[in-house]
Amino acid sequence: MDAIDRDILRELQADGRLSNQELAQRVGLTPSPCMRRVRQLEQDGVIQGYRAVIDPEAVERGFEVLVSVEVRRDRDAVEAFEAALQDIPDVIEAYRLFGSPGCLLRIAVADLRAYERLWIEKLTALTGITEVNSQIIMKRIKEPTGLPVNR
pLDDT in tens, the chain (151 residues): 999 999 999 999 999 999 999 999 999 999 999 999 999 999 999 999 999 999 999 999 999 999 999 999 899 999 999 999 999 999 999 999 999 999 999 999 999 999 999 999 999 999 899 999 999 999 989 988 889 998 7
Task: Return the exposure string of 24-40: e unless at least 16 CB atoms fall within 10 Å of the residue's CB, then b.
Answer: bebbebeeeebeebbee
Cβ–Cβ < 8 Å for 78, 92: no
Pairing of strands 129-136, 63-71: antiparallel
